[in-house]
Amino acid sequence: MRIFDTHCHLDFAAFDDDRAQVIAAAQDLGVERFMLLGVAKQQFDRLINVSQDFSNSCYFSLGLHPYFIEQHEEHHLGALESYLEAILADTQTRCKAVGEIGLDVTCGKPELQQTLFKGQLKIAAEYQLPVILHHRKTLDELLKAVREASIQRGVVHAFSGSYEQAAAWADQGFKLGVGGTITYQRAKKTRDAISRIGAEHLVLETDAPDMPLCGYQGQRNEPKRVLEVLNSLSELLQTETNELADVLWKNSVELFN
């Protein structure tokens, strides 16, 4: 069984004391690959270095996350493009997407959020890269912008919408990121949408060190717990675990080329 944690933040300070052990613990359970996410220009070099330190398993994306809006300036779009231009010149690059990007109504500076998001969609289209999307009460707005930018490949991270929204994103060619949310029985809308959309539209993720699973509230999340997400998803879809894992692995590898 091969597993890809398509969304984790292993470069964050929460893992500074035991990063190698955390990765090894996940690998021991079959988690072979990890996608590390860009969130701010100031973090890009650190992110790239961590990915290089664990080049047998870690890939990365670069993006300007709305949660860190206070760190962003409009000219950081140019910096992002410069990084991508240099990195993608290497045919063996481990950079596989633009992300984590999106819109979040709980964060400030909505006009700057819009400028950065649309600018990053344009960059992703130019470099033919998938996008990894953060949303908070913005799923429909994001889909409109993605359609206008002709982006047809990416992930809706931590999907938490309705079945109708899930189907619309699947029609756009996007995968839905499935993480700890489905381990909570109270997440009825999300669990219903995920159960109905079909495994071919899903990928696994943890968002480690954030988004702890049910039973681990208040604890640091880790990539090894993606196995528990897989088990919950297997029960939800009433599908044999190994068979499901194969589908999700294929989805992830094809998504990130």
Whether 3 has a pLDDT exceeding 90, the answer reads: yes
pLDDT (0 to 100) of residue 109: 97
pLDDT recorded at residue 83? 98
User: Is pLDDT above 90 for 133?
Assistant: yes
Residues 211-232: what's their mean pLDDT? 98
Q: Is 134 annotated as a binding residue?
A: yes
Could you report the per-residue pLDDT of 34-84, keeping only the tens digit for each? 999 999 999 999 999 999 999 999 999 999 999 999 999 999 999 999 999
7: annotated binding-site residue?
Answer: yes
Q: What is the per-residue pLDDT for 227? A: 98
Give the chain's mean pLDDT.
Answer: 97
Tens digits of residue pLDDT in 148-206: 999 999 999 999 999 999 999 999 999 999 999 999 999 999 999 999 999 999 999 99
Our CA angle for 196, 190, 209, nearest 5°, is: 125
Look at residue 117 in the predicted model and tell me its pLDDT: 98
What's the whole-model pTM score? 0.97
Q: Please answer whether residues 67 and 117 qualify as being in contact, where contact means their C-beta atoms are separated by less than 8 angstroms.
A: no
Q: Please tell me the total count of domains within the chain.
A: 1
Count of alpha carbons within 13 angstroms of residue 156, beta-carbon side: 31
C-alpha neighbours within 13 Å on the C-beta side of residue 122: 10
Is there a binding annotation on residue 75? no
100 is in an annotated binding site: yes
Q: What CATH number is attached to the domain comprising 225?
A: 3.20.20.140
Domain extent, residue 215, equals: 3-255
Of all residues in the chain, what percent carry a pLDDT higher than 90?
Answer: 99
Write the DSSP assignment of the chain as a string of letters.
Answer: --EEEEEE-TTSGGGTTTHHHHHHHHHTTTEEEEEE----GGGHHHHHHHHHHTTTTEEEEE---GGGGGG--TTHHHHHHHHHHHHTTSTT--EEEEEEEEEETTSS-HHHHHHHHHHHHHHHHHHT--EEEEEES-HHHHHHHHHHTT---EEETT--S-HHHHHHHHHTTEEEEE-GGGGSTT-HHHHHHHHHH-GGGEEE---TTSSPPTT-TTSPP-GGGHHHHHHHHHHHHT--HHHHHHHHHHHHHHHT-
| pLDDT confidence bin for 208, thresholds 50/70/90 | very high
Q: State the average pLDDT over residues 10-29.
A: 98
Q: State how far Cα 156 lies from the chain centre.
A: 7
What is the mean pLDDT of the segment spanning 211-234? 98
pLDDT of residue 91: 86
Q: What is the mean pLDDT of residues 78-101?
A: 96
